[in-house]
Amino acid sequence: MTQPAVRQRADVASVRVGRGPDPLDFVPLAYQTWEGRYPDRTWRTLYLASDAFGAWVEVLGRFRPHDDLMAALTDIAGEDGDPAPIPAGRVPLGWLSNRRVAHARVTGRFADVGDPDTLRWLAQRLPEVLVRCGVRDLDLSAATGPQRELTQAIARELYLHGDTHAIDYPSRYGATIRCIAMFETDGNLPNIQPVGTPDGPSIEADDHALERAMRLHGLSWEL
């Protein structure tokens, strides 16, 4: 059987936007929603990106306005002469108060979810999940997409049977943004080493990477 593409990598430069005081900690179990792309209720997952811009793009994605929905709401508002509703895509400025940017270097065995061998291996092992999710051919868009039953099954399979510590994948917001989903394990790997200290006691709204990510998503601040 085809094997997943798993590679030992050392000192992979990574950035995480997380909660203070230590943004590189796994989210406490009391606050876990288990709704992310690659978690499992048996372990936690830490998400990082290749740079600060990518980290902000990922974490701000939850605020991104749904274009079709907003167009429909605007049409409805225009039918009876009422003004359009307050647009989505507003981020409360207070949301930044407990966020920190942390730089780190990660070492471990990384599964490349976009590699053809990995996709084929997963398709061979997850036929029932693919049928339930209505996926005929497992490709990169499905493996990194919004169907959480599928993406979480992928994480579980790689964690339990793929000899891997983390998943390396492109962001759905652009292939040039590389992301890492790092699994919680009982061993010494994966290893994450902080570089420097989190960027200050708080993050200013005019941070360059943050503002660039806001523009990409069409977001603005709610004061």
Please tell me the total count of domains within the chain. Answer: 1
The backbone torsions φ and ψ at residue 157, rounded to the nearest 5 degrees and listed phi first, read: -65, -40
pLDDT tens-digit readout, 42-91? 888 999 999 999 999 999 988 888 654 444 444 434 344 444 443 568 88
- Residue 95: inside a domain: yes
- Residue 54: inside a domain: yes
What stretch of H or E contains 222? strand 220-222
- Residue 123: inside a domain: yes
Task: Give the separation between CA 162 and CA 167, rounded to whole angstroms.
Answer: 10
Domain that holds residue 95: 6-222
pLDDT, residue 77, reads 41
Average pLDDT, the chain: 85
pLDDT tens-digit readout, 145-172? 989 999 999 999 999 999 999 999 999 8
| Cβ neighbours of residue 212 closer than 8 Å, sequence gap 6 or more | 53, 56
pTM assigned to the model: 0.84
- Residue 1: inside a domain: no
What is the torsional sign of CA 90, 93, 94, 96? positive
**Structure-token pair, residue 53:** 């811009």
Using alpha carbons, select from 29, 17, 8 the residue that is nearest to residue 202.
17
pLDDT, residue 219, reads 93
Task: Give the separation between CA 184 and CA 43, rounded to whole angstroms.
Answer: 6
